[in-house]
A and B are shown apart, each in its own frame.
Chain A
Amino acid sequence: AQSVTQPDIHITVSEGASLELRCNYSYGATPYLFWYVQSPGQGLQLLLKYFSGDTLVQGIKGFEAEFKRSQSSFNLRKPSVHWSDAAEYFCAVGGPSSSNTGKLIFGQGTTLQVKP
């Protein structure tokens, strides 16, 4: 079955510290992977995406993610967290099997709290 797991429901980091949010997926074909961010009361904004090629992808706001096929993971990282990064983060997977519908499978989200 296709699924996305974000093992950490809630993470708290100090401002200026590094961040890694975990994402594991199960997908039968070549996955297309996404990270979205949602501020309270807002819609989701795309941070970055992976389709093919270089497994380390750069996104907006200083985020990056690394695709590791052997581990079925697509973890999100940031070297130094800012207070404005406090938000909810969603990992999602899609791929060729859903190319007609464009459906994505989302993880349950990780809430990031930043301590001053």
Chain B
Amino acid sequence: SQTIHQWPATLVQPVGSPLSLECTVEGTSNPNLYWYRQAAGRGLQLLFYSVGIGQISSEVPQNLSASRPQDRQFILSSKKLLLSDSGFYLCAWNGGGPHNEQFFGPGTRLTVL
């Protein structure tokens, strides 16, 4: 069966520090991968998605970047964190089929101080 992992689970970082969040999927190949952010009291905001290795699409301009160095690995990064980067970050995948069902990881809680 397929599983999706995110780490770390929680992270507290000072403003201006770098960021690297990792997401890996097991049990499937060539998944579509997604990074979402949830700010407090708000819905899901799609940040990036990837349909293959090295293929990254950005949904909103921001202080973050994403990379997909391997088929089942998706990384969210920042060179210098802002206070507004605080939130709950969710990674998701789908099998690329026509029914677009997405499966979510457990999330990473990021607090920027």
* Interface residues, chain A, with chain B CB atoms under 8 Å away: 32, 34, 36, 41-46, 49, 51, 90, 92, 94-96, 98-104, 106-109
CB < 8 Å A-B pair total: 64
* A32:B99 contact, CB within 8 angstroms: yes
Contacts A101-B32, A102-B94 given; indicate if A32 touches B109 (C-beta within 8 A).
no
Report which of A32, A45, A106 forms a contact with B100, defined as CB distance below 8 A.
Answer: A32
Report how far A7 CA is from B98 CA in the complex, Å.
28
B→A interface (CB under 8 Å): 32, 34, 42-44, 46, 49, 51, 57, 88, 90, 92, 94, 96-107, 109
Selected A-B contacts with CB under 8 Å, 13 pairs? A41-B109, A46-B102, A90-B44, A99-B97, A99-B98, A101-B49, A101-B51, A102-B94, A103-B34, A103-B49, A104-B100, A106-B44, A108-B43
Which 8 A-B pairs rank lowest in CB-CB distance, beginning with the nearest? A94-B100, A43-B104, A108-B43, A102-B32, A44-B104, A102-B94, A106-B44, A102-B100
Residues of B within 8 A of A41 (CB): 88, 107, 109
